[in-house]
Amino acid sequence: MTARVTGAPVVKQLSTLDRFLPIWIFAAMALGLILGRALPGLGAVLDSVRITGVSVPIAIGLLAMMYPVLAKVKYETIGQHMADRKLIGTSLLLNWVIGPVVMLALAWLFLPDLPAYRNGLVLIGLARCIAMVLIWNSLACGSGELAAVLVALNSVFQILTYSVLGWLFLTVVPAWFGAETAVVHVTMWAIAKSVLIFLGIPLLAGYLTRRTLVARRGETWYAQTFLPRIGPLALIGLLYTIVLMFAMQGDRIIRLPVDVLRIALPLLVYFAVMFGLAFTLSKKLGFDYQRTAALSFTAAGNNFELAIAVAVATFGISSGEALAAVVGPLVEVPALVGLVYVSLWAGRRYFGFTPEPQG
């Protein structure tokens, strides 16, 4: 998207659906809580619908959420981003060195007396985002092509390094401080399966859709007619996923409000620190707004599905680690919605970027 400076405030240039996204988010949270309270067994029933260990109801929401975003990507330009070593190197540094270390430091700073919750936060910090980041980046008018590249890189690194980093951060590092340690048993295949389902399926569908329809109907029809038709599906999928998460886990959160607040605080600090650091570093390195936004959201977001799956499989569904992993996305969603607006404001203020007016 090309920046176009106008006199209208940034928020007013978003579509009606996007502009009131925080309202829809909180409404979805409330609906999930109401459903969970009204139907106490609903969460267990929904969570029991699984195929090879993957929650089908959650998978439906994530796939619906990611497909329209990945259908927007201009795959023919991805090679240009891959060739930019400074840009790729910056992303890898933020995601695989700085991000996990920042989360580890915050977990120890805020939860020195609660090792289970601390372990849960570490698992979140190691699970780099491969799903929702595409939504936040799209809403903030970041580069969809770059986001797709960075998500793909994060997917590969998760498969190769998650088990090793989990062992290092939960078993080796705590021993340096004389604290109790934990052991994480997660196979590369378990991580690869999550990546293949939640990224591979919508990525392939988006690529085939673009290649087929652009060839048949042309770029103009695809961009101006088809994409606006499927665009709302992404936010509908997001809201559906939020309703399910709160219906399935909201009761635990209501029963342990103090614990939730203690877990939420370092997460909020983490999102703000990582986004601000990535945004500032990207600007200093001379990247334009679209690339800066893509780098910042991929650095700040996390793969909550993987973190929850590992926490439940390793420590059990009723463990403190599982609770912390569940709180992660419930804090991340409203936090990153807020950062979308911060990003748009900063884009206008520091880059002279203004999104194209939408209907």
Of 2-6, 63-67, 150-154, 273-277, the one with minimum mean pLDDT is: 2-6
Domains recognised in the chain with CATH numbers: 16-351 (1.20.1530.20)
Per-residue pLDDT at 281: 96
Q: Count CB atoms within 10 A of the CB of residue 304.
A: 25
Mean of all residue pLDDT scores within the chain? 81
Q: Is the pLDDT of residue 161 over 60?
A: yes
Q: Is the pLDDT of residue 13 over 60?
A: no
Q: Tell which residue, 346, 341, 351, 328, has the closest CA to residue 271.
A: 328
Residues 270 and 65: their CA atoms lie apart, in Å, by 24
Query: Per-residue pLDDT tens for 251-279?
Result: 777 777 889 899 999 999 999 999 999 99
65-86: average pLDDT? 78
Per-residue pLDDT at 320: 83
Residues 296 and 306: their CA atoms lie apart, in Å, by 21
Q: Count CB atoms within 10 A of the CB of residue 12.
A: 9
Query: Per-residue pLDDT tens for 230-244?
Result: 888 878 887 887 788
- Report the 3 state secondary structure along 264-311: HHHHHHHHHHHHHHHHHHHHHCCCCHHHHHHHHHHHHCECHHHHHHHH
17 contacts 8 by C-beta, under 8 angstroms = no
